[in-house]
Structure 1
Amino acid sequence: MAVIRVRNSGKVVDGQENVHAFLECQGVFFERWDMGKLPENLVEKFDLTDEDKAEILKSFDEDIRSLAERRGYVNWDVIALSEKTPNIEELLKKFEQVHTHTDDEVRIITAGHGIFIVKGDDETGYFNIELEAGDVISVPEHTPHFFTLMDDRQVVAVRLFIDTDGWVAHPYEEKEHTI
């Protein structure tokens, strides 16, 4: 279950209802999916073949299509990051730059953990959303954010896109250092 840590106040938000309410106030979509649909051979597997990725998409096909229909997504895929990922350090450096998108950024965590750092309203500032398997998040378009891994450095996520060209990051410059 996701946990939120507000950077400027140290406030911690946990529990599904509290997390959902906090994120809704910040314009971030959040829900939980049943990970019992994931085949046992893919639970906590981070070095995925193309066949494994296809199996993940098949396992959650109904959920993905429902979310896509509700929110206008037309394209999806699976990304897996771990110590076995070629050029993991370079990828993480790219992900860890504050940026925005012209589409919302959607992730369904199916294994492992990840952290989205999102710029909230002026009072809240930046907050961490610590995600685990079953967490579904959509960071709204034009919202400054970045992504990183937790200490275990392992995550598998389904990504959904509105733009058929996928996900394009646009650098974001803070007026003052607030991260």
Structure 2
Amino acid sequence: MAEIRIRNTNERISGEENVRAFLDNQEVLYEHWEASKLPAELHNKFVLSDEEKQTILSTYDEEIRELAARRGYQIWDVISLSDATPNIEDLLKKFEQIHTHTEDEIRGIVSGRGIFIIKGDEETGYFDVELEAGDVISVPENRAHFFTLMDNREIIAVRLFIEKDGWIATNIEDPTFTK
């Protein structure tokens, strides 16, 4: 289950209803998929063949299509990141730049853990959303954020896009962000 850490106070928010209420207040979509649906042979497997990625998409087809219909997503895929991913350090450097997109950035976590760092309202400032299997999050368009891996450095996620070319990151400098 997702957990939130507000960076400027170090306050932690846990529990599905508390997390959902906080994220709703920040205009960030949060939902939950049934993580146990993932076939057992894909649990904790972070190097995937195209066939295994298709199995994941098939497993969550109903959830993906329902979300896509509600929010206008047109295409989706699976991303898998771990220390076995070629050029993982370069990818993480790219991901760890504060940026915005002209469409939502959405992830359905099916295995592993990851973290979105999102700029909240003026009072809240930046907050971390620590995600695990079953958590689904959508960062609104034009909202400053970035994504990175947790200490385990392993994640598999379904990504959904409105534009057929996917979203393009526009890096920004934000002097209010501190690591």
Measured after TM superposition, the shift of residue 177 of structure 1 is 3.6
Q: Distance in 1 between matches of 2:95 and 2:149?
A: 10
Q: Distance in 1 between matches of 2:143 and 2:59?
A: 30
Letter in 2 for 1:25: N
Question: Residue by residue, what CA displacement relative to the aligned partner does 1:21-58 show, whole Å, maximum 9, x if unpaired?
Answer: 00000010001110121111111110100000000000
- Residues 154-169 of structure 1: pairs in structure 2 closer than 5 A: 154-169=154-169
Query: Residue 55 in 1 paired to residue 43 in 2?
Result: no
Residue 141 of structure 2 aligns to a residue in which SS? Answer: coil
Question: Residue by residue, what CA displacement relative to the aligned partner does 1:93-122 show, whole Å, maximum 9, x if unpaired?
Answer: 000000000000000000000000000000
Q: Give the TM-score normalised by structure 1.
A: 0.98
Letter in 2 for 1:12: R
Q: Distance in 2 between matches of 1:140 and 1:121?
A: 13
Q: Distance in 1 between matches of 2:6 and 2:15?
A: 15
Measured after TM superposition, the shift of residue 172 of structure 1 is 1.4
Q: Distance in 2 between matches of 1:113 and 1:154?
A: 6
- Residues 26-175 of structure 1: pairs in structure 2 closer than 5 A: 26-174=26-174
Question: Residue by residue, what CA displacement relative to the aligned partner does 1:116-151 show, whole Å, maximum 9, x if unpaired?
Answer: 000000000000000000000000000000011111
Q: Distance in 2 between matches of 1:131 and 1:11?
A: 17
Q: Distance in 2 between matches of 1:24 and 1:173?
A: 26
Measured after TM superposition, the shift of residue 178 of structure 1 is 2.6
Q: Distance in 2 between matches of 1:124 and 1:177?
A: 11
Question: Residue by residue, what CA displacement relative to the aligned partner does 1:6-35 show, whole Å, maximum 9, x if unpaired?
Answer: 000111000000000000000100011101
Q: Distance in 2 between matches of 1:73 and 1:53?
A: 19
Q: Distance in 1 between matches of 2:141 and 2:149?
A: 22
Letter in 2 for 1:90: D
Q: Distance in 1 between matches of 2:139 and 2:57?
A: 21
Moved over 4 A (4+): none
Q: Give the TM-score normalised by structure 2.
A: 0.98
- Unaligned ranges ≥5, structure 1: none
- Unaligned ranges ≥5, structure 2: none
User: May I ask how many residue pairs the two structures share in their alignment?
Assistant: 178
Residue 62 of structure 1 aligns to a residue in which SS? Answer: helix
Query: Residue 7 in 1 paired to residue 24 in 2?
Result: no
